[in-house]
Amino acid sequence: MKRMSEKRSTQNVAYHEAGHAVAHLVMNVPMRRASIIPKENTLGFVSVQKSPRWLTHLFEFGNPWENNRATRYILAAIICYMAGKIAEKKFTGRNNNLGSKSDMEMTYRLAETICFDNDEIRALLKWLSLHTEKLISKHWESVDVLAKKLLDEKSLSAKEIRKTLINVYPNVVPEQPINTKDKEEIITMVLQKLVFGQRKIIENELSTLPPGAERNTWKEAVRIYDEGRYKICDEKK
């Protein structure tokens, strides 16, 4: 019985982490690895990239709720944190509130950055929970495939996860569009860093971005710089 219980517990963890990982792909939030190898106080984990520099800068010097790009990123991150618990519940038929405590704490902390009071936070998290349930249901076959792969391999890099799913269900890794304003902001930011000799930083950031429109925009900015197709405007006094 003990052996069966341990096997079931590992399966639960695999579906939990697979839920997180699939949400990261669908919402285009970068991650590094998914694992069901116990670590410190957790039975499994999805390690994520550091917050984008533009978002960190905004938290330090601006208001995230006044920036559409920041709001979209925060909402996507909340969905990613919720997806593990919801996927595990769909697999087991019951809530694992204790095992998802840290995830739920993170969703609240993120919601605080774009809400003004507790009523707003509760309403936002309820709405996002419903959205996440639909996302997991829609992509359940992908969660199932990835959970079984995790049970076999124990740990998968983001590249391995993407390869596993894109070969089976390519629609789980969508091409994310980017609007004109965001594109211009990214190109301006990258060019400024390149002009000030921060190419290594740009290369490191670029290596962490998943395939898609944002990564392509970063590469386009580098090409513009390398080809000399840019202007440095002096500030008017």
Task: Report pLDDT for 107.
Answer: 95
Cα–Cα dist 70/75, whole Å: 9
Q: What is the mean pLDDT of the chain?
A: 83
Of the two residues 18 and 99, the one the predictor is more confident about is 18
pLDDT over 90 percentage in the chain? 39
User: Could you tell me which residue, 182 or 153, shows the higher pLDDT?
Assistant: 153
**Which is nearest to 16 in space by CA: 48, 47, 44, 41?**
44
Say what percent of the chain tops pLDDT 70. 79
Higher pLDDT, 218 or 170: 218
Mean pLDDT lowest among 73-87, 138-152, 211-225: 211-225
Identify the H or E element spanning 33: strand 31-35
Find the mean pLDDT for residues 89-107.
Answer: 89
Check residue 237 and give its pLDDT.
38
Write the single-letter amino acid at 44.
G
Q: pLDDT tens digits, residue range 14-49?
A: 999 999 999 999 888 888 899 999 987 788 999 887
